[in-house]
Amino acid sequence: MQQYIQIIKNTWAEMMTYRLNFILWRVRMVLQLLVTYFLWFAIFSGQKELFGYKQSMILTYVLLSNIIRTIVLGTTTMEIGQIINNGVLSNFLIRPINFFKYYIAKDIGDKLLNFGFSLIEITILIVILRPPIFFQSSPMVIVLALIAAALGMVLYFYFSLALGIIGFWSPDIWAPRFLSFVIMEFFAGGLFPLDILPKPLFLVSQSLPFYYFIYFPLKVYLGQLTFMSMVTGFLVGLCWVGAFIYLVGKLWNKGLRVYTAEGR
């Protein structure tokens, strides 16, 4: 356990070494949030309710999506494909450390730091912009929303791992990752809640794992899901997690058999 705590500390130290770079990264996140926020703010001007959402609901959705994005989609596993391709993976294989646990620890460090900054940014933005915000009063719903976010986090971790493992067979990892990123941006619900999509597209989105990254935790927080759809959501989400853990395990074992430590 001690070694993984040290990895978390190392991740912080690494990020703080390049402080200005980290600040630029946060500026980028705030910029992304502001664009979405002002877009929705303008769309709602003069309207009390749109797509079944009040302005306070949608602005809460937008602001919280930034925090959820940070804890769910923030990951260091992006580098895995490159690590495999340039042979650096060998360094991990000979160490008395589990490769996946190493990245889990690294991700925890990354997410904690980004989450802290994200909270500060959102607080500052709320103070400056004074948007109408919806506060969830039920502690039970808040706990469920946190569990949904944790589910999304685990699911995205394994999803990203699966993409990185492609590196065993292809030197070109950028294209599939970018392609999945574009599809994910649309179907994860970062720009808008998925239920404003036309019915057929919404049904498609529900059948994809991206549904559980941003949209599902936020819908749980807003209390807009019925008990049944919440239970179904958690069950299907868990099935996705199970499927991805199985897939990653299989791909990893097969990948190691073809790994040649090229570049070392």
Partner 1 sequence: MKKYIRVYASLLLFNWSAMLVYRMDFFTKLMTSIIYTTYHVLAIFILTNTVSSVFSWSRNELLLLASTYSVFIGLFHAFISRNIHRLSEEIYYGRLDYMLVKPIDSQFAASLWTVDFISFFRIVMGLLLSWYFVGVLQLAITPLILLWYWVFIFVGLCILYSIWLSVISITIFNPRLSNLIDLLYHVSELTRYPQEMYQHVSMIIYPLLFPFIFILIPPTKILLQQYSVAQGIQAVSVAIAFLLVSRLIWTQSLKHYASASS
Q: Tell me the two tokens of residue 44.
A: 């709602």
Stretch that binds partner 1, among 25-33, 150-158, 210-218, 256-264 (CB under 8 A): 25-33
> Nearest CA to 257 among 186, 194, 165?
165
Residue at token pair 């060998």: 90
**Binds partner 1 by CB under 8 A, chosen from 5, 133, 183, 231:** 183
Query: Binding to partner 1 (CB under 8 A): which residues in 72-91?
Result: none
Phi, psi of 54 (to 5 degrees): -80, 160
Q: Report the C-alpha gap between 52 and 57 in whole angstroms.
A: 10
> Taking CB under 8 A as the rule, does residue 182 contact partner 1?
yes
| DSSP annotation of 212 | G
> Nearest CA to 118 among 126, 130, 106?
126
**Least distance to partner 1, CB of residue 197, Å:** 6
Contact 78, 177 (CB under 8 A): yes
Contact 194, 52 (CB under 8 A): no
> Taking CB under 8 A as the rule, does residue 117 contact partner 1?
no
Size of interface with partner 1, in residues (CB under 8 A):
36
Stretch that binds partner 1, among 7-15, 35-43, 136-144, 158-166 (CB under 8 A): 35-43
**Binds partner 1 by CB under 8 A, chosen from 9, 10, 38, 91:** 38
Binding-site ranges for partner 1 (CB under 8 A)? 18, 20-22, 24-25, 27-28, 31-32, 34-35, 38-39, 41-43, 47, 50-51, 128, 170, 172, 175-176, 178-179, 182-183, 185-186, 191-192, 196-198
